[in-house]
Structure 1
């Protein structure tokens, strides 16, 4: 049975359909003091809890879903984190700061027998879980909404760490070059992006990444391009906080495509097939 977090209902429904299993009705409640409560149906056998932890409340909701599944009779709980919040805090950046990804992973591990994530920011965060944890790649799905017949396309990553996603999208599309920008982060909000030597003049460009949060880095990368024909933006996790979508449009992005690990207007494709294959 699939049990969904409140932020991942569409993805959970798609996953249940792909797997051919029941989608359990989950009720979500908040008390006047802000505490949350979930209620799940009776479970026989394996429960698959699907919950993107997009907020601190979502983390609490996930822990409750795991515990409720056990109480409802689940013999096994597999936790699917389509989007794992706090994953980018994968080290202590200053003395006295937590490794937040580790703290979150340990908490999730207490209620799960196995964990599946989608394109974690760094694969190393999988080692923080105390139960078996794997990451699946939904990036090839991002090729589906791209227009047919792109003009001599270039698939660009905003830095060398994301080149694998650019290659995944390019391979799924079937043609094109890949490259990446040089990115230097001076602070949490101050980033310098320098274009590579590849010639994009008159060519369609697809900028790819695992997550777009504020859109600042991606919009700076687009602005640094020299006379592209068209620019499309793709990402696995379209967080798009604040005015991120406006930044991308103002920078020249013709369209933005993401998956439903975070359910947004731009969530053009589902990560469910990639997750289903792992399950």
Structure 2
């Protein structure tokens, strides 16, 4: 059992606004002020990262909030070095809260002489002294098996379901959930079940990474309001092309719900000029100003879910209870104005 009367949060530089939002939510729940542990994360002239924790953390239950988003290598090293600093300062337990788990796309050997970088990252996190992982929508669920420590993988679909029911109220019978590829069917089916909607698939064939050669729609989308569901949007090329193909096959409008808005390179420009009516992402990755100012991008908060998950981990109660709408809805009350 932790010796402290409350969990302690510390954040790197990857997504400080989300970390502060989580601390505020936990303060509201607990009725006492809970601030981020003070420290500094600096870089030497050659780019080396230095971490110093200003507060005593001996015997404390520590939660490091740090997505490993762009720049992935810098943010990953920040996380590892912060964990090492806390371990050497005698923290009782270190949990890494990684809203976006970088390197997750490299979860298997796709051809000869290639790495499984997700496993390498898992090994590094454990060696740094991290004893538990809390993350959101891993690219591949089997990555949990790369760790010999507990991994709690939260899902964005319950949050998306609440938003869909609010935004499409009165038109849910016209909604069809679409997976942008065969590999994402399980994720799309999960949202479809929650909103009681049919499911369609866009089958894509790649000639090489980053390029889509051909797309085929499996299922009848005629007259439907299509919702594309995926775990990440990187350059948005596939997403925008899928939206065009769905409209060509008779869909009345296309929306997208994506867990992680990576939004690299031309992504924002593509989304702005696309036929999609809206792209909904979470704040697992700190949005750039361009993303925040894009008229057809909306950002859903994850702080309520992460705050409750952290408290459940600290109390030793169920995290999987947050997968249920009945549990999540009160936490998000007032978050989805009509």
Please name the residue that 2:302 is paired with: 271
1:76-225 aligned at under 5 Å gives the runs 76-110=93-127, 111-146=129-164, 147-149=167-169, 150=171, 152-172=174-194, 174-225=195-246
Structure 1 or 2: more helix by fraction = 2
Tell which has more relative contact order, 1 or 2 (C-alpha 8 A, sep 6+). Answer: 1
Quick check: 103-112 or 37-46, which moved more?
37-46
CA displacement 1:74-111 (0-9 Å, x = unmatched): 11001111111111111223333221111111001112
Aligned-partner Cα distance in 2 for 1:122–1:237: 14
Secondary structure, counterpart of 1:208 in structure 2 = strand
TM (norm. structure 2) is 0.75
Measured at CA, do residues 88 and 14 of structure 1 come closer, stay the same or move farther in structure 2, by a change above 3 Å? same
Measured at CA, do residues 95 and 28 of structure 1 come closer, stay the same or move farther in structure 2, by a change above 3 Å? same
Size of the aligned set, in residue pairs, is: 278
Give unmatched runs, 5+ long, in structure 1: none
Higher alpha-carbon Rg: 2
Aligned-partner Cα distance in 1 for 2:87–2:40: 16
Root-mean-square deviation over aligned CA pairs: 2.2
Kept in 2: contact 1:193–1:220 (CA 8 A): no
Kept in 1: contact 2:63–2:97 (CA 8 A): yes
Measured at CA, do residues 160 and 237 of structure 1 come closer, stay the same or move farther in structure 2, by a change above 3 Å? same
Q: Which runs of 4+ in 1 moved over 4 A?
A: none
Please name the residue that 1:31 is paired with: 44
Kept in 2: contact 1:137–1:274 (CA 8 A): no
Of 270, 275, 293, 1:252 maps to 275
Measured at CA, do residues 115 and 247 of structure 1 come closer, stay the same or move farther in structure 2, by a change above 3 Å? same
Quick check: 132-141 or 109-118, which moved more?
132-141
